Structure 1
Amino acid sequence: MNIGTFGFILTGIFLNAFAQLLLKQGTKAVGAIHLTAENWFSIALQLATQLPIIGGLTCYVVSVVVWIIGLSRVDVTIAYPLLSIGYVVNAIGAWYFLGEVMSLQRMLAILVIIVGVALLVKS
């Protein structure tokens, strides 16, 4: 895999992870969502007007376009497992930006993912 292709793959992964963080931030304004037949429309409207939600959905759309470009250049058996980098980015971002807990067990799991991705990229 050349550097350009790796760049497309990584950009898609980072945009996807950033989208998750934005969506989580957007849901904080709405709170826990419990849909019923009576409230689904008002909740949908609340979510649709949150700037972080709009930004997250935009990141998803762009990430899909970038991901498709990357997939056109590399085997899916390489590209798809690389998505696990998103778990690492997301966990660190959630800890840093959202104040979520980063326990020792979570850090060890992240290390396992990093080792797995490194082995995959070298194959």
Structure 2
Amino acid sequence: MNASLFCMAIFSVTLNAVAQIALRKTMLTLGALPSSLITAFSFLTNLIGNFWFLGGMLCYAVSIGAWMIVLSKAEVSAAYPLLSIGYLITAAIGYFFLGEHVNTTRLIGIGIICIGIVVISRSA
């Protein structure tokens, strides 16, 4: 995988991670899912007009387009493991942007995943 294709993959993964953060912000903004049909309509109306939700969906759409470019030029068995970088990106954004707690055990797990990505990338 050449450098430009690798960058496109990282771009796609980053957008996917940003979409996850945006959806988390959506739910923090809107609150719990509705428990009845009466409140479901109001929830859906608020959801459709929510900035974070719309931004997250846009990030997903662009991410899918970028990922299709990656898959048009790289073997899926080499490209797909790069999606695991999303764990690192979402943990960092969650920590710095949402104030989420990232403990040592989670960091060790993410480190193991990153080591696995390096091992797989060397086989391609």
**Same-fold status (TM-score > 0.5):** yes
SS at match of 2:38: coil
Q: Say what the alpha-carbon RMSD is for the aligned residues.
A: 1.1
Q: 1-side partners of 2:57 and 2:9: how far apart?
A: 18
Q: CA deviation at 1:12?
A: 0.6
C-alpha displacement of 1:35: 4.1
Partner of 2:25: 25
Structure 1 unmatched ranges of 5 or more:
none
Correspondence for 2:61: 61
Instruction: State the alpha-carbon separation in 2 of the partners of residues 49 and 28 from structure 1.
Output: 15
Any unmatched runs of 5+ in structure 2?
A: none
Q: TM-score, normalised by structure 1?
A: 0.95
Paired position in structure 2 for 1:85: 85
Structure 1 residue 36 displacement after superposition: 2.6
After TM superposition, the score normalised by the length of structure 2 is 0.94
Larger helix proportion, structure 1 or 2? 2
Work out the percentage of aligned pairs sharing the same amino acid: 36
Partner of 1:100: 100
Q: CA deviation at 1:25?
A: 1.0
- Distance in 1 separating the partners of 2:46 and 2:78: 39
Per-residue Cα deviation, 1:23-76 (whole angstroms, up to 9, x for no partner): 111221111213432222211111111111111100000000000000001011
